[in-house]
Amino acid sequence: MISPLSSLSSRESPPVLRVEDLRKSYGEIKAVTGISFEIAPGENYGLLGPNGAGKTTAIQMIAGVLAADGGRVTVCGQELTTGTTTVKSHIGWVPQEIALYDRLSARENLAFFGRMQGLSGKPLATRVSEVLELTGLVDRAGDKTIKFSGGMRRRLNIGIGLLHQPDLLILDEPTVGVDIQSRTRILDQVAEMTSLGMAVLYTTHYIEEVERLCQRVGIIDHGVLIAEGTRAELVKTVGERDRVTIAADGQINAGVGQITALDGVHEAGATTDGIQMLVDDAAHLLPRIIESLTRSGVTVTGVEVEEPNLEAVFLHLTGRALRD
C-alpha cells in the first residue's frame, strides 16, 4: 500500500498542512496540548486516538471553525484562523457529526455547499453530478436527506467536503455508525481521492482503517501527539515480535519453563487459561513451541498469533488498549 516513490516525492514538496504547537482548553479540560505535524501533498495522514483524545478539537482548529488558544495552522503556505475566509477553499472539512439540511435533497445540499465554496453555474452542476456519482447517490439525488439511511447520510456528508476538489480533505471519523458495505465504500472513496493527489487528514479510532489507508500516522492521547511515523516506523518502536497466545491445559508451569529456554521466545508466562509470550518469528518457531509444550505435558487447544500492529504500539505507549 505504501509506495516509497510517491512518499519520497511528496516529502520534497512544501506541505499542504503545517500545524505548529496547537493548543486548546475547555475550562479545566486540556483538550489539545501543543500538537505539531505536517502533511505533504497527496499524502494520507491518519490521526489515531481513543475517544476524548482531542482529535475533533484539533481538527476543528485546523479547519478554522474553532478558535485556538495558541499555535499556528498553515494551509498551502497561508496562515488559517477562524477569521480567514479565502484560505478555507483549500480545505474540505467533513465534520464528525453529520451536517446536512434535512429538508433539502442530496442534490440541493451539494449545490448549496458548492455555492458556499464559491462554485456556480456549469462547473457547480458538473461537480454536483460527479460527487453524486462518486457517493453512489445518483438514484436518490432528488430525495430529501431526512429520508436517507445513516450510511447514505454519511456518504453525502463526505461528498460535500469533496465538492470543490480541495487540496486537503479532513475527515473526522467518517465511518462511525455505518454498515460494512458503506464503510468499505467510504474507504475506497478516500483511497481514490488520495490516488488523485488530494492530501487527506483522517481521524479514527479504528486501527484497520489507518493501517489500510494512511501512509503516516500520528497517535494522539490526552491531547498530546505521542508518536508519529509510518506504520513500519511505529511498529519498530515496540519491536518486531509477534504476540502468541496459547490456550492450554495440563502442566502449564512446566511448559512455560520449557519454552522460555527456546531461542526467540520472550516474556513467556501463564495466563488464566493458557500461556502468553512474545516471539521473534512466530511462523518459524511455532512448531517447536508446540512440540516443547506437548513434551512437558501440556495439552494445546488453541493458538493465536498477533503480528505487531498499531494497537500494540498504542498499548506500549500508554499502557491502555485503544478501545476499552
Partner 1 sequence: MKTLAIGWVYVLRILREPASLFFFFVFPMLMVFIIGIQFGGQGGRVQLGIAGDTTQSITDKITDNLAANEALELVFYEEQSEMLRAVERGAIAAGAVFPPQMAARIAVGEPVLIGFVSAPTGLGPQLQATVRDALTEVLMPYRAARFAVDILGVGFQDGWSLATTVVPEVELATVNLETVGEALFPPDLGRFDGGAASNLVLFMFLTALTGATAMVTDREMGLDTRIVSTPTSVVRLVSGYVAGQFGVTFFQGVYIMVLSLAIFGVDWKNLGGSVLLMMALSLAGAGAGMLLGSFRLSEAATIGIGVTAGLVMGALGGTMVPLELLPDAIRTVARFTPQGWAMLGFHDLQWDGSLIDIADNLGVLAGMGIVLAAAASLSVRRTLTRPS
- Residues interacting with Mg ion, by CB under 5 A? 55-56, 96
What cell was used for 270?
501463564
Taking CB under 6 A as the criterion, the residue among 56, 105, 157, 182 binding ligand ATP is: 56
What cell was used for 203?
481521524
Taking CB under 6 A as the criterion, the residue among 19, 31, 124, 322 binding ligand ATP is: 31
Regarding 96 and contact with ligand ATP (CB under 6 A), the answer is yes
Regarding 54 and contact with ligand ATP (CB under 6 A), the answer is yes
Stretch of 5-13, 47-55, 86-94, 267-275 contacting ligand ATP, by CB under 6 A: 47-55
- Helix axes 150-162 and 180-195, enclosed angle (nearest 10): 10
Pick what 116 binds: ligand ATP, Mg ion, partner 1, none; C-beta below 5 to 8 Å, kind-dependent.
partner 1
Per-residue x/- marks for ligand ATP, 127-166, CB under 6 A? Answer: ----------------------------------------
Smallest Cα–Cα separation from 36: which of 73, 61, 8, 63?
73
Taking CB under 6 A as the criterion, the residue among 88, 205, 216, 243 binding ligand ATP is: 205
d(CA 67, CA 215): 29
Interacting residues toward partner 1 by CB under 8 A: 26-27, 60, 63-67, 82, 85-89, 91, 93, 95, 97-104, 108, 112-113, 115-118, 120, 144, 160
Q: How far is CA 126 from CA 31, 164, 192, 219, 297, in A?
A: 40, 11, 19, 38, 71
Regarding 53 and contact with ligand ATP (CB under 6 A), the answer is yes
Taking CB under 6 A as the criterion, the residue among 15, 41, 42, 49 binding ligand ATP is: 49
Stretch of 26-34, 87-95, 246-254, 255-263 contacting ligand ATP, by CB under 6 A: 26-34
The CA-to-CA distance between both ends of the chain, in Å, stands at 29
Stretch of 8-16, 54-62, 262-270, 300-308 contacting ligand ATP, by CB under 6 A: 54-62
Query: Using CB atoms, what's the residue nearest to Mg ion?
Result: 56
| CB atoms near residue 211 (< 10 Å) | 17
d(CA 285, CA 264): 8
Pick what 53 binds: Mg ion, ligand ATP, partner 1, none; C-beta below 5 to 8 Å, kind-dependent.
ligand ATP
The DSSP symbol for 178 reads -
Let me know the angle formed at the C-alpha of 321 by 27 and 187, rounded to the nearest 5 degrees.
Answer: 90
φ/ψ of residue 174, rounded to 5: -75, -10
Least spacing, CB of residue 91 vs partner 1, in Å: 7
Helices (H), 76-203: 106-116, 121-134, 150-162, 180-195
Pick what 9 binds: Mg ion, partner 1, ligand ATP, none; C-beta below 5 to 8 Å, kind-dependent.
none
The DSSP symbol for 105 reads B
d(CA 86, CA 65): 14
d(CA 166, CA 199): 9
Pick what 31 binds: partner 1, ligand ATP, Mg ion, none; C-beta below 5 to 8 Å, kind-dependent.
ligand ATP
| Interface positions with ligand ATP (CB under 6 A) | 26, 29, 31, 49, 51-57, 96, 173, 205
